[in-house]
Amino acid sequence: MRQGYKDMKCGLLGEKLGHSFSPMIHGELADYSYVLVEKTPEQVEDFVRNGELDAYNVTVPYKKTVMPFLDVISPEALSIGAVNTVVRGKDGKKYGYNTDYFGFCYMLDASGIEVNGKKALVFGTGGASATVCAVLRDKGVKSLVVVSIENNTPEFLAAHADAEIIVNATPVGMYPHNGASPVKLSLFPDCVGVLDVIYNPSKTALLLEAEARGIAHANGLSMLVAQAAKAFEFFTGNTAEAGACEKIITSIEAQTKNIILVGMPGCGKTTVGKLIAKQLGRPFYDADDVFTEEFAISPAEVIQGEGEEKFRQMEHEIAEKLGKLSGAVISCGGGVVTREYNYHSLHQNGTIIFLERALENLSKKGRPLSQSTPIEQLYSARIDAYRRFADIVVASTEVPENTADLMIQKLFEGEKI
């Protein structure tokens, strides 16, 4: 972090900013204050003309809105038709820049996806789309097609089924509207690369589909960090430290990804999860407790009164709710893996850990399915799903504190065992 900017007032202008990682990123770049400024469209002009911030970023939907109220706009911002960085100069003038171009260049290079000579389909017509298109043209795409809301039709998409690069430059799928996607990748059999400028969730529905199909893909976190580093230069007149982007991306991913525990009933997920949350200073959620609070009935009561299938439907609602969180530790019910549709809900923003424990050490207390079905039968039916869901497998040490330490070690190593 660069020191010496404590007197500067910086921030982010937008309409809905609850999802933003920008304060964390700028907190890693420098010691200036960085606040979130939510304004309605009617309030934007007054803020730009009379606001007290020394410098600020601009996000959707105001990257074009702010432009008429600025005194000077940089050539690249004029060319793109969008401003995402505003600085109040010492001369009193308001200067507009676009650092998203630099950010998307960085994202594209970091992804390893080669676009030169390929056909690209870009979804969206706003400021982000204009930036993406400018970069893709400069990177040598063979042809470029922009898909608007109006022409996002089966007929139009069928005419471009030969697209090799798909880019989402819309907010479709962004928190809190997780699960939505601008298009199905099955329409593009030649697709070799998918880029989504959204960074929360870490894996949008579009990226989850790319992952499932084995297509190279990347989210927008690297773009966000790289554009912030460039904005820092305009804010302060100094360059970011060498390697700052890579360091901050790693740090933000570590802070914002959920840690999700799955495993057999009675394996100790809640106990170990609470220990991990305490060590890392994160909030802890037990999915069964959240279920009871949400529905005013316990999982056991639902299973006994309405059957397992009804419980699984309700459990999925909880998995979707918890899966949208960032930076939480979540203990799931033992059977969450028995429904494949829970995978995307949990995987979109988290690292899933399978806590494996010897069957003879599993607790059956208060667990109706464990009591009604032989534990060996449950284990046999679920073990493949546990391993399929898991990013990391950790065997219980039978000492919760030691198991928690082992999990944290594996998380930071990023090791799959």
Q: Is 86 within 8 Å of 50 (Cβ atoms)?
A: no
Name the catalytic one among 6, 9, 63, 257: 63
Q: What is the spatial distance between Cα 80 and Cα 76, in angstroms, rounded to a whole number?
A: 6
Q: What is the spatial distance between Cα 229 and Cα 222, in angstroms, rounded to a whole number?
A: 11
Rounded to 10°, the helix 22-29/244-256 angle is: 140
Q: What is the spatial distance between Cα 190 and Cα 156, in angstroms, rounded to a whole number?
A: 17
Q: How far is CA 223 from CA 18, 101, 195, 248, 296, in A?
A: 19, 9, 11, 12, 42
Q: What is the spatial distance between Cα 185 and Cα 189, in angstroms, rounded to a whole number?
A: 8
Instruction: Give 262's strand partners.
Output: 354
Known catalytic membership, residue 90: no
Q: What is the spatial distance between Cα 204 and Cα 177, in angstroms, rounded to a whole number?
A: 10
Triad 52, 56, 59: Cα angle to 5°: 125
Residues with Cβ within 8 Å of residue 113, at least 6 apart in sequence: 165, 192, 193, 195, 216, 218
Active site residues: 63
